Structure 1
Amino acid sequence: MLKPFLSALATVVIVLSGCSNGKKIVNTPLENQNKLSDEQLIDLVQKQTFQYFWDGAEPNSGAGRERIHLDNYYPQNDRNVVATGATGFGLMAIISAIDRGYITKLEGTARLEKILNFLEKADRFHGAWPHWMEGETGKTKPFSTKDDGGDLVETSFIAQSLICIREYFKSGNTQEKALAAKADQLWKEIDFNFYRNNQNVLYWHWSPNYAWQMNFPVKGYNECLIMYVLGASSPTYPIPAEVYHEGWARNGAIKTNVSVYGHQITLDHQGEKNSVGPLFWAHYSYLGLNPKGLKDQYADYWQQNRNHTLAMRDYGVANPKGFKGYGENSWGLTASYSVNGYAGHTINRDLGVISPTAALSSFPYTPEESLKAMRHWYENLGDKVWGKYGFYDAFSESANWYPKRYLGIDQGPIVVMLENHRSGLLWNLFMKAPEVQAGLKKLGFQSPYISN
């Protein structure tokens, strides 16, 4: 379900602006610098990737752009298009940047206010934002002909960030408390119950012009678990537990038991027979939703996500198609740019393209394996795959293809999941929210955050 890179360099210096603490991010030729420690490298990648949502933000709204192409080729004339999912991930990235001191709290608060004010005035459809918005106006930019209204999945990626903002700022000064209140208001205005279409399942889209004609009931397993958790957690427009069990879990048909490269997969990755989906399925719903100790009658979500990641990594090591560059230091298939357009890369659809976000956003699950890839790409592939906003979206050594392009929905999870690996910050903010705990209990989840 798709909605959804210094070998020994010649002298290259990249200095990022917007870091108010006076620290500069500088890359010098490797032969002239000491090797970065693991922590220094992780911090560099997190800080530089964050800049996509700071320096690289759409200027009027402050929100996350759909894409940034450093080659300046924009095929759809969408330089200032805001992506709802990327915006949600960017909001969480800004919280992490405040907490890390990459920006001051005052700067971060002002940017968050700007984005939330934009979101408040932007087009919404029963509380849900569209997939794309014009950054200058907040008006809907249709993702496709009939996809010109509310997108509940992308909206849920914003909703998890709104809860995190509220929790982070709710005990602050007057300005911060007002920001928390605005985040709370926007989250509570999302009408999850409307998107049932009078059935026990949640629908991805609704259009004021085409109603339910997109006809996309969301059934698991894929990247959309967070939508059902939020629907159950909503204090204003809640969905009953039956919507989760009958719709998402398909009356239990979501369960499976297959082995992929020796790793047990217990949730049915629809469309991936005896295999696993693209790795963003293990990321998007878990930026706020902490999978550690998270279980229900269908899965142990930490084990599921770790095994998903290990299976993808071991596939890269096995490299059955013999693609150049694959191995224990370069792996990761997910939805990203591809040599010919955009593709959902999986074991069943391997096009020889590595997407750095796949391994980097998996840091909590596979810290050693992900670090090996991070270090290899940074030290050995260098500026082929590394640029102004961190690692580029995708590359192919087999095709000698190294585009200098970024996608917001791929950059965001890197920042957030690196922070969750380092401190658990976003996980703790989201999971401590009382309505989230109540929603999880309602659906039958167990978690260390939930008291019996």
Structure 2
Amino acid sequence: MKRIVLSIAAASLLAASCKNSQTVKPSDSQVQVVKNDITDQQLMDRVQKDALKYFWDYAEPHSMLGRERYHEDNIYPDNDKHVVTTGGSGFGLATILVGVERGFVPRKEAVKRLTTMMDFLAKADRHKGAWSHWINGETGKTVPFGKKDNGGDLVETAFLTSGILMVREYFKNGNAEEKALAQKCDELWKGIQWNWYTKGGQKVLYWHWSPEYQWEMNFPLEGYNECLITYILAASSPTYPIDAETYYKGWTRNGTYLSDKEKYGLPMYVKHNGAEEYGGPLFWAHYSYIGLDPTNLSDKLIKNYFDLNKNQVLIDYKYCVENPKQWKGYGPNYWGLTASYSRNEDGSVGYNAHFPQNDHGIITPTAALSSFPYSPKESMDFLRFIYTQKPEFIGSAGPYDATSINYNNWTTPRYLAIDQGTIAPMIENYRTGFLWKLFMNAPEIQQGLKKLSFKSEKYNIK
């Protein structure tokens, strides 16, 4: 559901759809108490297992993909219980793989479910190979995200494809059923016409294309924001690739997206679109890096993507600790600004892209939890605090999407796939590097990264 800050209209779209939905406190039966003596490893297990429930227990029942949202208060805008999200489902695929690897779900059951998902995606509407942002989980038909946003969404498709490739890599050497699943994944990947989205050969990718409205959305993908993975996948495609020039001219804006600014003594390295002072919402450090390992990863312009992400996260953390707006509760144990559900001035539930320059006193748990690779101590402090001290912020699928101590421990008993889906994968990447290894060792990804002059000694990419 997220868009970059420059596309804040998307946030307004969801806010409008939720404007009549009032906050409902969870019942006592939903509050989960965790004892203070729980170990760090047990806590990470707990939150990973909880987040998995969103995609395992609350999946859309026909497609088995991730629903756009799950509301424990059972209040849904526009009766959209069967709307599935493409990008969030990609994160859900990664989450399920974590569940299999950790023994949270049976491998055989996971293979069966993942096969159902791939069969659904093969039959669902596609637009030059790309899927739409939202899909009807019962029919496979495109659900418009906006009037003209009723066709292919290349960024959401990229988030989904990242998950599809990791599923392929995980099962490709398995038994017959697993190999068949991997083959389905491979066919879906090869059907995406990435180069179509250059709008006739322009040296930049475009976010949307619609059979009805063509290129009228007119949204070029230019850095820096959450869209890096789109270029990586497009360059790596064995069937419809883009060239390196498109990456450097389009994504890096001919190199002009570099920045020499610092905040709290931490270099920014790049200009964050619309958020150059402190950096953008923290999902920018998560979405592209579910599979793409930033550790000592470089290209012609960026010396170390891990440092870029780590600094963005620590700037967000230091801002929350400094707390210039004096929100109650902000501090070393309660921090993290990113796009999520939010609290409107009248107390109703809305949606907002939270970041330091757009801070409304709302802390979104996925911000700190999905930042574990970059800020393990700070993220663990948050995890321990919210589970042991704030049980009212925890529901059946882990921490609720948005919280605020400032507003009398306000929360909304609701979840979004795009937020819940990054928690288990990024924590697992911190713990074992599991998903990073799957994605980075895929043969096409290795070739695509080399084409774009990326280097990683860890994966022998030179």
Please confirm whether the aligned pair reaches a TM-score higher than 0.5, indicating the same fold: yes
Alignment partner for residue 419 of structure 2, among 410, 425, 428? 410
Cα distance, 1:275 vs. partner?
2.1
Give yes or no for the alignment of 1:201 onto 2:204. yes
Kindly provide the CA deviation profile for residues 47-86 of structure 1, in whole angstroms up to 9, marking residues without a partner as x: 0110000001000000000001111111222111100011
C-alpha separation in 2, matches of 1:316 and 1:34: 24
Provide the rounded CA distance (Å) in 2 between the counterparts of 1:268 and 1:41: 35
> How much identity, in percent, do the aligned residues show?
53
5+ residue gaps, structure 2, are 12-25, 345-349
Contact 1:278 1:346 in 2 (8 A): yes
| Distance in 1 separating the partners of 2:386 and 2:329 | 10
Q: Decide whether the 8 Å contact of 2:30 with 2:396 is kept in 1.
A: no
> Counterparts of 1:370 and 1:404 in 2: how far apart (Å)?
22
Match of 1:358 among 364, 367, 384: 367
SS at match of 1:322: coil
Matched, 1:161 2:163: yes
Residue in 1 that maps onto 2:311: 307
The residue matched to 1:427 in structure 2 has which SS? helix
CA drift of 1:98 comes to 0.6
State the alpha-carbon separation in 1 of the partners of residues 389 and 361 from structure 2. Answer: 18
Q: Which residue of 2 aligns with 1:226?
A: 229
Show the counterpart of 2:430.
Answer: 421
- 1:72 maps to 74
1:449 aligns with 2:459: yes
Amino acid corresponding to residue 443 of structure 2 in structure 1: P
SS of corresponding position for 1:76: helix
Deviations 1:350-387 (A, max 9, x none): 010000000000001111100000111111111x2101
Post-superposition shift, 1:344? 0.6
Q: Which residue of 1 aligns with 2:94?
A: 92
Q: What letter corresponds to residue 295 of structure 1 in structure 2?
A: S
Indicate the SS of the match to 1:305.
Answer: helix
The residue type paired with residue 173 of structure 1 is N
Q: Distance in 2 between matches of 1:163 and 1:54?
A: 19
2:387 is matched by which residue type in structure 1? Y
What is residue 331 of structure 1 aligned with on the other side?
Answer: 335
**C-alpha displacement of 1:10:** 11
1:43-122 mapped onto 2 (5 Å cutoff): 43-122=45-124
1:217-241 per-residue CA deviation (whole Å, 9 max, x = no partner) reads 1100000000000000000000011
What corresponds to 1:292 in structure 2? 295
> Could you report, residue by residue, the CA deviation over 1:117-136 in whole angstroms, capped at 9, with x for unpaired residues?
11111010011000001111
CA apart distance, 1:257: 1.4
Q: Which residue of 2 aligns with 1:21?
A: none
In structure 2, distance between residues paired with 1:126 and 1:282: 28
| Deviation per residue, 1:135-178 (Å, 9 max, x gap) | 11111110000000000000001111111111111111110000
What is the DSSP-based 3-state SS (H/G/I as helix, E as strand, rest coil) of the residue aligned with 1:342? Answer: strand
1:342 matched to 2:351? The reply is yes
Q: Distance in 2 between matches of 1:386 and 1:263?
A: 33
Task: Tell me the distance in 2 between the aligned counterparts of 1:200 and 1:308.
Answer: 28
The list of structure 1 runs, each at least 4 consecutive aligned residues, that deviate by more than 6 angstroms after superposition, is none
Distance 2:118 2:308 in 1: 34
Number of positions where the alignment pairs a residue of Structure 1 with one of Structure 2: 432
Match of 2:399 among 365, 383, 391: 391
Shift, 1:337, TM fit: 0.6
The separation in 1 between residues aligned to 2:428 and 2:112, in whole angstroms, is 21
Give 1:225's aligned amino acid: L
1:143 equivalenced with 2:145 (yes/no): yes
Distance (Å, rounded) in 1 between the aligned partners of 2:237 and 2:310: 29
**Alignment partner of 1:257: what SS?**
coil
AA aligned to 2:228 is L
- SS of 1:255's partner is coil
- Aligned residues of 1:133 and 1:140 also touching (Cα < 8 A): yes
1: CA distance, partners of 2:37 / 2:62 = 39
Aligned residue for 2:459, secondary structure, equals coil
- Matched residue SS, 2:260: strand
Cα distance per residue 1:270-325 (max 9 Å; x no partner): 21132200000000000000000111122210000000000000111000000011
* Mapped partners of 2:422, 2:307: distance in 1: 19
- Counterparts of 1:241-320 in structure 2, within 5 Å, are 241-299=244-302, 300-320=304-324
TM-score by length of 2: 0.91
Q: CA deviation at 1:264?
A: 0.9
- Alpha-carbon separation, structure 1, partners of 2:62 and 2:273: 39
**Aligned partner of 2:339: which letter?**
A
Q: Secondary structure at the match of 1:314?
A: helix
What value does the CA root-mean-square deviation take over the aligned residues?
A: 1.5
Match for residue 372 of structure 1? 381
Distance in 1 between residues matched to 2:30 and 2:89, nearest whole Å: 29
CA distance in 2, matches of 1:157, 1:259: 30
Kept in 1: contact 2:450–2:461 (CA 8 A)? no
